[in-house]
Structures are given as C-alpha cells and as structure tokens.
C-alpha cells in the first residue's frame, strides 16, 4: 500500500561501515572499506550508477602526475601552493594539511581508475605516459583528460563486485547517535513506504557537497526559454552532520560570487578553458577579442613552466574581465573560430564525456552546427560561492568532532576553491574508507537506538499525509520557492547584525507557518528535502551572524563594534538539542611542520 495511511515496514540492517550518498566519494569509500575487510552498506536517495555531480560523466580529473610533472620540474609542493593560492583573499581558511594529503596520494589513487576499465592513455598523445593532460585548476596542467562518461557505473559495478550492499532509493533523514558517537542512520524510501534503519560501527557522509537549491535559478523567476540545469544540492550531508553535532564551516560565503554562462544553457565546463581548451575564446559584439584562445606547450620546451604560468594568469584575469564587462551591460560571445579541425574533434570528444555537455554534442551533431562560425552569447549567471562550505574534520583521517562519524569527498570543509571536484572526491573517499574500516575492526556492534527516531519519523510522515487528506497543507515546491526568495533577499556582500537578526526572525516565522502535505513516496521524499533546506538556511544565517568582521568578499558594515578576529578562524555551526550553536575553529592554514 502506498500513500496516505500507509503501514510502514521498518527494515533493519547492521554493518561495519555505512556510507551515505551516491557520489564518487561514496563509491571510493565503499570500495576501499570493503577491500579492507569491512562489511559495507551504502544508502543513496537516487541510484549510485547515475547520481551526484558526475552522474552523466566527467572528462577531467585533477591529480599530481609524476610522468609529466617530474619531467618539467613541477613538484608536489608546487601543486600544494597552487591550490592554497586559489583561495585568494580567503586563503587563510584553507586546510593545508588536507590539500597536502590529497596531492601526495593522488598520483596513485587517480590513475587506479584504469583498473575499472576507464581509458586514460591514447595512441595519439605526445605527452609522457600516453596521457592527455590539460590545464584547469592550477598554474600548470594537472587534469587528466580521460574517457569518464561511465565513471559512476564502473565504480558501482566495482563496489557491487566486492560485495558492497547498495540500497538505492533510500533518503537518509537523520543520523543515529548513542552518547557522543554516531551509530548509523534512518531513511525513508523515495519510491515505497519502507523505513530503513542501518546500525553501523562507523558512518561516512559523502553527499554532493553543493547547496544550489538554497537559492533561485539565475533569472530570479521561471524562464521557459532558458535551459537551466536544475539545482539538485540540498546540502543534506551538512544538515545531517550538524544535527548530529558536527560543525559545518564556511556557509557564510554562499552566494557572494558572480560568474557567467551561456545565454540559454547554464553548464559551460570552464569556458573559455576547461573542456573547450585550447581553442575557446571570448569576443565582444564587434568581434574584438576580449580573451584570446590558449596555447599548448611541449614538455620538451625549457620554458614550459613559465609559459603555462603566464597562460594561467592571463586566463584568470580574462575571466575577471568577462564578469566586469557583463556587469557593465556589454554583449560578449564565446566562439571556436580559431580552432583547427583537430581541435574541434578533440573538444567534441571531451564534451561527450563531460556529463551534461553530452547533450550539447548531440545538439551540435543533429543540427549540423558549424563550430568554426557559431557564436554563443554569454550572460551573468546566478550566485556562486568564492569559498565552498563543508563539514569540519579533525585531520587527514577525516573524522568529524562526532566519534565514528566521517566526512569525505565534497563534504569536507576548507579545501575549495575551486569546488573540490572529482579528484578530491576520489582520493579522500579512498582514504576515509580505509580509516573507517580500520576503526570498525576494533569496535563493538552499536546498540540499536532507532526506536525514538523511527517514531518521530512516522509522526512527521503522518502529519504530511493528514495535511494532504484535509487539503490544508502546501506543496513542497511552493515552500521551497518561498524559502529561496527569503535566502535570495538575505544574501548580500555587506551585512549588519540588525539585518541578519531580522533575516533569522523571518526564517523562523516562515518555518513556524510551514505545513507541508504529501501523499505518495515521491512527494514525501521531496517534503523531507525541503525540511533539510530550512535547516540549512538556519545554519547559513547563523554563520553570517557569527562572522563579525570582513574577510574577502564578505563585508560587515558594523565590524567596528566587534573585536578583530583571527583571519584563520572558521565559523562552525551545529545543532544541540534543537538550537544552533557556533564555535571557532582556528588556524586552518597550518605550516608544513604543524601539518606533518
């Protein structure tokens, strides 16, 4: 029976390691934990084979690459410095210990994807190792260009082959906790009326990391002529962690950046670079070049490092110029008019593996688009984050402040920008899975404390059904839209204590009036996502309130009222007995000696 009045079946499982989510980091953690001898269960609200940020594939993954980098004199320390420098005026919040750990393990971990049948080497490559390697996030090329369209399917098959139990269509509503330790999770079915309880010795959070559904789409209104890749990130992992008592950091920077995209398609994979490298360029309405095309350099060139660093600086400045001109109302265009036939073929190959741009490739082919003459208009996109939020972890084991609870992949705080994408998810996933499996070996099975959690969950579901039956409740879409409108009004580049306090009061009033209704499993699951978004918005406002002085693009107009803060302090927010608490987590950017 499904929907109103359903009699819920409670399914219970026990395991050594529970992994929550469906992204690359989840599968990496599950694989490594299982290889370490642990029993592993994955709970995912969609399907791990095609979910998360890499659901439809990736064409690039960052790594230290000894075959190339050793040849040109680019060291691990150089890459670490590049990543820290990417933080710009927020670099004091970067976790150098975690960045160092990633760089030093990436060379082995990333190329291990070849074992899953993913192609990294090509006969036409002129680079060491037969790789295709492109510049993307650092001053030198550090991203493998590879055939990653089916990375999620390949990793899912690997996990299943090892004996990992993957429970798809199960949305985790809350973590179980006994005293100061995490002991598993409780979930609802997204397509049935089951409640799933998993008691686990260790629990890993590795959801997508992004929180895009906290804000409206870039137009500020529905625009049916705009193909907008929908925001899918509810920040569920962050909310789960905070409700368990683990600190979530850097939320206050959400929405403070400005970016750009195409006029009628929002997923542009780093243009004019990224998947469009090296031939992408930007021009104005008169055809004048604003950002010229890039160049590829041979590792045999003695000026290889110098040339690429100049290219990186030029492209970074060019992206800033694009935003500046669009803010002035200028018309700008992306094109490939200087590309060779070989470069066009290379770019189409990349688009075919980079997820949502596979749609573009098929569109180009079906409509016989001439990429040497086409011009694509640009527009300002929605709010972006100059520094990405995440869960605070105590060190390279990635255990949170809650015992036996780990965060990994894109859920880890203090790594971005750029958004810690596939390479970080993979490497930290492997590392966290290994650490959690070791912990589980010596741990006793946890006590089943799910009873009160299950009763609270059933009561909330009953309220959703009752509201639907009486016609008195509101649809989850309407509630989400109202919340997004409030958050959009809150987010600013300048804050005052009074304004933030008022925003908190408005959010509390909106939450108090919330009466969601849901009948079937899908509507019910969406309603629970909206509950998460309300919790996330409350954490966001608390983070803004606690950041008393200006840093980077975050500005406080009333900062003279407060004592100066250590720029290396991160604001950690979490729930304690239903109320939000805050703490300061100091000295994130540690010296080499301290991080060793």
Cα separation, 453 vs 12, whole angstroms: 13
Nearest CA-CA partner of 215 in 572, 475, 536: 536
pLDDT greater than 60 at residue 229: no
Tell me: do 489 and 376 sit in the same domain: no
Rounded to the nearest 5°, which phi and psi values hold at 165? -90, 115
H/E stretch holding 181 reads strand 181-189
CB 530 within 8 A of CB 478: no
Query: Of 365, 383, 401, at which residue does a domain stop?
Result: 383
CB 418 within 8 A of CB 86: yes
Query: Of 383, 403, 434, at which residue does a domain stop?
Result: 383
Tell me: do 364 and 471 sit in the same domain: no
Cα separation, 260 vs 563, whole angstroms: 37
CB 536 within 8 A of CB 234: yes
Query: Of 357, 383, 409, at which residue does a domain stop?
Result: 383
> Once rounded to an integer, what is the mean pLDDT over residues 555-574?
84
pLDDT greater than 80 at residue 550: yes
Q: How many CB atoms lie within 10 A of CB 434?
A: 17
The CATH number of the domain where 557 resides is what? Answer: 1.20.58.100
Tell me: do 457 and 368 sit in the same domain: no
Q: Is residue 51 part of a domain?
A: no
Tell me: do 467 and 545 sit in the same domain: yes
Read off the pTM: 0.94
Query: What contacts 77, CB < 8 A, 6 or more positions away?
Result: none
Structure tokens at 310: 């100049």
The per-residue b/e assignment along 202-233, b for 16 or more CB within 10 angstroms, e otherwise, is bbbbbbbbbbbbbbbbbeeeeeeeeebeebeb
Q: Quick one: pLDDT at residue 223? A: 44
The CATH number of the domain where 312 resides is what? Answer: 3.90.700.10
Rounded to the nearest 5°, which phi and psi values hold at 222? -65, 130
Q: Is residue 357 part of a domain?
A: yes
Phi-psi region of 184 (alpha: psi -120 to 50; beta: other; left: phi over 0): left
Residues paired with 516 in a beta bridge: 474
**Exposed/middle/buried for residue 323 (C-beta within 10 Å: 0-12, 13-18, 19+):** middle
pLDDT greater than 80 at residue 60: yes
Rg (CA), the chain: 24
Q: Quick one: pLDDT at residue 5? A: 45
Q: Is residue 283 part of a domain?
A: yes
The string of pLDDT tens digits covering residues 136-146 is: 889 999 999 99
Q: Is residue 121 part of a domain?
A: no
- Print the domain residue range for 538: 452-569
């500046």: which residue's tokens?
324
Report residue 392 CA to chain centroid gap. Answer: 15
Q: Quick one: pLDDT at residue 56? A: 84
Nearest CA-CA partner of 109 in 434, 404, 394: 434
The string of pLDDT tens digits covering residues 149-205 is: 999 999 999 999 999 999 999 999 999 999 999 999 999 999 998 999 999 999 999
Q: Is residue 582 part of a domain?
A: no
Q: Is residue 484 part of a domain?
A: yes
Task: Cis check for the bond before 272: say yes or no (omega within 30 of 0).
Answer: yes
> Once rounded to an integer, what is the mean pLDDT over residues 393-397?
93
- At residue 231 the predicted structure's pLDDT band, cuts being 50, 70 and 90, is low
């006590």: which residue's tokens?
447
Nearest CA-CA partner of 528 in 476, 486, 474, 581: 476
**Exposed/middle/buried for residue 557 (C-beta within 10 Å: 0-12, 13-18, 19+):** middle
CB 139 within 8 A of CB 308: yes
The string of pLDDT tens digits covering residues 422-477 is: 899 999 999 999 999 999 998 999 999 999 999 999 999 999 999 999 998 999 99
- At residue 209 the predicted structure's pLDDT band, cuts being 50, 70 and 90, is confident
Count of domains forming the chain:
2
Tell me: do 373 and 263 sit in the same domain: yes
> Once rounded to an integer, what is the mean pLDDT over residues 392-398?
94
CB 20 within 8 A of CB 14: no
> Once rounded to an integer, what is the mean pLDDT over residues 58-72?
95
Q: Is residue 224 part of a domain?
A: no
Between 59-68, 108-117, 266-275, the lowest mean confidence (pLDDT) is in: 266-275
Q: Quick one: pLDDT at residue 225? A: 44
Q: Is residue 163 part of a domain?
A: no
């Amino acid at each position: 029976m499904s929907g109103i009045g359903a009699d819920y079946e409670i399914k219970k499982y026990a395991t050594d390691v529970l992994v929550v989510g469906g992204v690359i980091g989840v599968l990496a953690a599950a694989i490594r934990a299982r290889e370490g001898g642990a029993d592993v269960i994955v709970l995912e609200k969609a399907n791990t084979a095609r979910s998360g940020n890499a659901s439809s594939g990736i064409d690039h993954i960052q790594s230290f690459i000894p075959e190339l980098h050793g040849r040109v004199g680019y060291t691990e320390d150089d890459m670490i410095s590049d990543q820290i420098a990417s933080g710009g005026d927020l670099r004091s919040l970067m976790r150098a210990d975690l960045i160092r750990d990633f760089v030093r393990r990436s060379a082995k971990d990333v190329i291990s994807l070849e074992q899953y049948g993913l192609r990294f080497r090509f006969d036409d490559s002129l680079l060491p190792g037969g790789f295709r390697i492109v510049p993307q996030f650092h001053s030198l090329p550090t991203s493998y260009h590879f055939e990653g369209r089916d990375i999620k399917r390949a990793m899912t098959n690997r996990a299943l082959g090892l004996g990992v139990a993957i429970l798809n269509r199960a949305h985790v509503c809350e973590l179980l906790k006994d005293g100061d330790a995490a002991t598993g999770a409780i979930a609802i079915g997204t397509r049935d009326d089951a409640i799933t309880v998993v008691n686990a010795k260790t629990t890993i959070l590795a959801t997508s990391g992004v929180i895009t559904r906290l804000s409206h789409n870039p137009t500020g209104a529905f625009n049916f002529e705009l193909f907008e890749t929908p925001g899918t990130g509810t920040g569920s992992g962050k909310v789960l962690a905070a409700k368990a008592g683990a600190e979530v950091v850097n939320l206050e920077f959400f929405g403070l950046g400005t970016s750009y995209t195409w006029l009628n398609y929002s997923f542009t994979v780093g243009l004019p670079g990224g998947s469009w490298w090296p031939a992408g360029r930007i021009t104005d309405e008169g055809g004048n070049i604003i950002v010229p095309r890039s160049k590829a350099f041979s590792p045999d060139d003695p000026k290889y490092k110098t040339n690429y660093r100049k290219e990186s600086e030029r492209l970074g400045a060019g992206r800033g110029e694009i935003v500046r001109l669009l803010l002035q109302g200028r018309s700008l265009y992306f094109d490939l008019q200087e590309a060779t036939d070989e470069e066009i073929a290379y770019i189409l190959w990349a688009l075919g593996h980079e997820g949502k741009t596979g749609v573009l490739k098929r569109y180009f082919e079906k409509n016989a688009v001439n990429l040497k003459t086409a011009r694509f208009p640009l527009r300002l996109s929605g709010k972006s984050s100059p520094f990405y939020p995440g869960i605070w972890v105590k060190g390279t084991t990635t255990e949170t402040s809650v015992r036996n609870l780990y965060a990994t992949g894109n859920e880890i705080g203090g790594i971005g920008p750029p958004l810690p994408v596939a390479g970080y998810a993979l490497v930290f996933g492997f590392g966290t899975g290994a650490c959690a499996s070791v912990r589980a070996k010596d741990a006793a099975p946890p006590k089943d404390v799910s009873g009160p959690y299950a009763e609270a969950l059933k009561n909330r579901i009953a309220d959703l059904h009752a509201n639907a039956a009486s016609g008195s409740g509101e649809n989850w879409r309407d509630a989400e839209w109202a919340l997004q409108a409030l958050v959009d009004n809150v987010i600013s580049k300048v804050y005052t204590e009074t304004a933030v306090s008022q925003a908190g009061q408005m959010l509390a009033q909106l939450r108090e009036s919330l009466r969601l209704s849901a009948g079937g499993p899908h509507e019910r699951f969406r309603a629970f996502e909206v509950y998460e978004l309300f919790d996330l918005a409350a954490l966001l406002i608390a983070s803004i309130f606690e950041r008393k002085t200006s840093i980077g693009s975050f500005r406080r107009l009333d900062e003279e009222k407060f004592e100066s803060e250590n720029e290396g302090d991160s604001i950690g927010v979490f729930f304690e007995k239903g109320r939000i608490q805050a703490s300061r987590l100091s000295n994130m950017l540690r010296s080499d000696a301290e991080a060793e």
